[in-house]
Amino acid sequence: MRLPGPFSMLRLSLGLAVAVSVMGGASQQAPSAAALVGRSASNTSNSDCSRECMTTIVTQILDSIVAHDPRTLPMATVYRATENSHPAALGMMTLWRTVTKAGPPSLLAIDTTIGTAHFALDISEGNDATESVLRGRVKVVDQQITELELFINRYRGDHGFSFSAAELPTNYKALMSPPANRTKASRATLEALSEALFATSSNFSVSIGDDCQFTEIGWKVVDPGTYGNGSTDPLGCSWPSGHPTDTNARVGLVIDEELGFVVTSGIVPGKVYPYGPYGNLSAFIPNTLSAPQEVQEAYFEEMKALGTVPLLSPTGATGDTLEVLQYYNDELQAMQINVYLSGPNMTSPWL
């Protein structure tokens, strides 16, 4: 049996934030819905938009982007919006200028209790041969858009991990069609899962499904190894003790009780290191994962001494994440690590 290398452990750890044992089902010691709602200003009670209504609004957003006309959207008198973590009016966002093909979403999580949705899909910019990944979160009040948080990942350097716009539809299709006879998790359980994700401590325990899908920006994750000695087999999900944490994590952004999706956001400081046997790859490693960082520091010094390949200098960065988990049958069924990188010491405009 091949033991996971340091970067494999990094991938299994990123985005998880609770030291728990992989055993049993969900702990019954879940925080109340009221307590979780208090952690995020976005989570205001709103039940005037059904799943069909929320789906229609997401479709309107995508149609508006392709038409290069944000004026078609049902925007609130005052709204909040960001593109790749920076605030801007919709008419000044790059997406409304460059996207030529989009939709329907390959993944759509809908929370009718608080009127939010998360969506992800492959898109084209400029010409149909150019593929990127668009993902976002929308909040609706009185059937008007009050919040729109958008990210566009064009390639691996945007987030420091694996990427495939082409494989995203196939990989996410399975998540949108869970077994009809599944046991759905309660809202309280899903909220507790969201609360645990970036927590410094939690007694919420998680059992991993046999076919739990682990993806980063559309691609099932593999670990090629620092020296090219890894594997091409996809890695499975894990809920490890080593993890990034964020005491200001935005929890319960979307809780989809029908499909079992949970969306949580955390800000993760770290460094981007050179990676791979030819020095032409890089990887983002959170500062909380000191052991993998030390491995990459040693690799950097070794390769620098050889002087055979150009190396990216290790550089500070911040990962703005929208983590997506799927949970039913008392087990974790899917884990998506969605990251967008910015400079060091950055934070979220949504805090």
- Sorted by where each starts, the structural domains of the chain and their CATH numbers stand as 6-342 (3.10.450.50)
Please return the burial class of 45, using the count of CB atoms within 10 Å of its CB with bins 0-12, 13-18 and 19+: exposed
* C-beta contacts of 53-57 below 8 A and 24+ residues apart: 53/140, 53/143, 54/110, 54/112, 54/115, 54/117, 54/138, 54/140, 55/108, 55/110, 55/117, 57/117, 57/138, 57/140, 57/143, 57/145
pLDDT bucket at 279, cuts 50 / 70 / 90: confident
CB-based contacts of 144, cutoff 8 Å, min separation 6: 74, 75, 76
Contact in structure between 59 and 38 (CB atoms under 8 Å): no
Q: What is the pLDDT of residue 24?
A: 32
Mean pLDDT of all residues in 324-351: 97
The angle formed by the CA atoms of residues 159, 58 and 196, to the nearest 5 degrees, is: 50
Q: What is the pLDDT of residue 16?
A: 35
Higher pLDDT, 1 or 106: 106
Q: What is the pLDDT of residue 14?
A: 45
Give CA–CA dist 207/236, Å, rounded. Answer: 13
Contact in structure between 161 and 283 (CB atoms under 8 Å): yes
Mean pLDDT (the chain) is: 86
Q: What is the pLDDT of residue 8?
A: 41
Give CA–CA dist 33/269, Å, rounded. Answer: 29
Higher pLDDT, 275 or 345: 345
Residue 260 confidence (pLDDT) above 80: yes
Q: Are strands 208-216 and 331-337 parallel, antiparallel or unpaired?
A: parallel
User: Which stretches of 217-314 are assigned E, i.e. beta strand?
Assistant: 219-220, 250-256, 261-275, 281-286
Give CA–CA dist 17/23, Å, rounded. Answer: 16
pTM for the model: 0.86
Q: What is the pLDDT of residue 63?
A: 98
Q: Which of 24-38, 117-131, 255-269 has the lowest mean pLDDT?
A: 24-38
Mean pLDDT of all residues in 38-61: 77
